[in-house]
Amino acid sequence: MTKIRIILISLVLLSGISVHAQKYITKNGNIRFYSEAPTENIEAINKQVNSALDLASGDFVFRVLMKAFEFEKALMQEHFNENYVESHKFPNATFVGKVTNISELDISRNGLYDAKIEGDLTIHGVTKKISEKGTFEVVDGTIKGKSVFFVAVADYDIKIPRAVISNIAEKIEVTVDVSLSLLNN
């Protein structure tokens, strides 16, 4: 009876370690957005992106501090935070979703894998369902996730004053670049 009990306890402990070993995180991912418009191009980069991926379930989440976007011009950054995304009211943008084809990805081997990602993107207090494609590149146990997609400003109730409407594209190009590492206790 004692041997069976030890085996059962060992299996429970090992299964817990196995599940834990499936979680990858980053606290310093990158998100870049780019607006190409007739009057001017606007680019901002955020290097304080938190993200987590659970390989067992496919759950994939992001949290982006809006004030951490850095612009070439300080005035653009001020207008972005105060007038457009209203960072004082909506400090974070989030994505909560899944990698829908997680079972097709062999993350245990180095390589480049196509990923399908679906979930809820929340910006400026507005949540929309999105479905995008990206890649996961596995390099010696690190997972590098990348995706480029477009976000319509109007979909997230971001108001652009008429005086500067020609300065900002209706759809903003978003580039996500994260390097996820195995979660350690």
Domain spans of the chain? Answer: 22-182
Angle at 58 between CA 52 and CA 60, to 5 degrees: 30
Collect contacts of 101-105 with beta carbons under 8 A, ≥24 apart: 102/55, 102/57, 102/58, 103/58, 105/136
19-43 pLDDT, tens digit each: 444 899 999 999 999 999 888 899 9
What percent of the chain is predicted at pLDDT more than 90?
Answer: 75
| Dist. CA 110–CA 129, nearest whole Å | 31
Mean pLDDT of 127-138: 97
Q: Is the pLDDT of residue 160 over 70?
A: yes
For residue 25 the two structure tokens come to: 């995180």
| CB 137 within 8 Å of CB 111 | yes
Q: What is the pLDDT of residue 42?
A: 93
| CB 76 within 8 Å of CB 100 | no
List the alpha helices (DSSP H) in the chain: 2-20, 74-79
**DSSP state, residue 51:** E
| CB 94 within 8 Å of CB 61 | yes
Q: What is the pLDDT of residue 167?
A: 85
Q: What is the pLDDT of residue 37?
A: 87
Q: Is the pLDDT of residue 155 over 70?
A: yes
70-107 pLDDT, tens digit each: 999 999 999 999 989 999 999 999 999 999 999 999 88
Fold adopted by 22-182? Lipocalin (2.40.128)
For residue 122 the two structure tokens come to: 């929340």
Average pLDDT, the chain: 88
Amino acid at 50: N
Q: Which helix (H) or strand (E) holds 53?
A: strand 41-54
| CB 61 within 8 Å of CB 52 | yes
Report CA dihedral (52, 53, 56, 57) to the nearest 10 degrees.
90
Q: What is the pLDDT of residue 15?
A: 38
Q: Is the pLDDT of residue 46 over 80?
A: yes
Q: What is the pLDDT of residue 4?
A: 38
Q: Is the pLDDT of residue 63 over 90?
A: yes
pTM of the shown model: 0.84
Mean pLDDT of 165-175: 91
Q: Is the pLDDT of residue 18 over 50?
A: no
